[in-house]
């Protein structure tokens, strides 16, 4: 739970996050990297969320949640690479799940990949075959600002609102 204390101008803000790391080698790395990144992102950017909320700008709130997820995604990729390189793997990105050929073996060249769209591949240099890095984390963010709740999720995690008595009509969801 990340919290920002109330100020004279703004209401109290809390962001709850559920991270479910998966992957034999890197699941815990993924969840911890995402947690650290999201706390840093919120510390540095929460005023954008408050502004969007105060203006009732749902597109800006949505953009904030998307940007938080993107930041976590990129940090997970960097953490995977650091962790794997620290134990002797060579790591690179590939634009497709098809494994790149070793450029020294047949002259094939692996194009630089968009880090948000690419797969991470690993191998023990110099002669091992490439294999896909399997792992990541689902992420659900719930931002509570005063009495308003905003929810964003990636992966198979989601949020469920519950109350003892109905309190939200269709126009409020």
- Structure confidence at residue 9 (pLDDT): 52
- pLDDT above 90 for 87: yes
In tens, the pLDDT along 93-117 reads 887 655 444 444 444 444 444 545 5
In tens, the pLDDT along 46-69 reads 888 888 888 888 899 889 999 999
List all residues 6 or more positions away from 53 whose beta carbon is below 8 Å from its beta carbon: 61, 145, 148, 150
- Structure confidence at residue 94 (pLDDT): 80
Q: Using CA of residue 94, residue 157, residue 43, residue 52, what is the dihedral sign?
A: positive
Q: Which of 12-21, 33-42, 111-120 has the highest mean pLDDT?
A: 33-42
- pLDDT above 60 for 8: no
Which tops the pLDDT comparison, 169 or 149?
149
Residue 137: beta bridge partners? 21
Question: Among residues of the chain, what percentage have pLDDT more than 90?
Answer: 29
Which tops the pLDDT comparison, 98 or 148?
148
Rounded CA separation 141/144 (Å): 10
Which tops the pLDDT comparison, 72 or 101?
72
Count of CA atoms in the C-beta half-sphere (13 A) of 104: 5
């Amino acid at each position: 739970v990340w919290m920002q204390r109330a100020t004279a101008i703004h209401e109290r803000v809390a962001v709850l996050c559920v991270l479910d790391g998966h992957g034999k080698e890197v699941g815990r790395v993924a969840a911890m990297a995402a947690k650290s990144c999201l706390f840093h992102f919120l510390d540095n950017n929460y005023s954008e969320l408050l502004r969007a909320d105060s203006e009732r700008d749902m597109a800006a709130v949505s953009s904030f949640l998307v940007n938080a997820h993107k930041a976590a995604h990129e940090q997970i990729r960097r953490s995977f690479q650091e962790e794997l390189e620290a134990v002797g793997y060579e790591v690179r990105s590939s634009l497709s799940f098809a494994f790149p050929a070793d450029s020294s073996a047949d002259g094939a060249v692996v194009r630089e990949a968009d880090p948000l769209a690419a797969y991470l591949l690993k191998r023990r240099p110099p002669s091992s075959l490439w294999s896909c890095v399997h792992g990541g984390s689902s992420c659900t963010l719930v931002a509570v600002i005063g009495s308003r709740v905003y929810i964003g999720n990636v992966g198979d995690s989601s949020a469920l609102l519950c109350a003892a008595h109905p309190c939200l009509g269709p126009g409020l969801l």
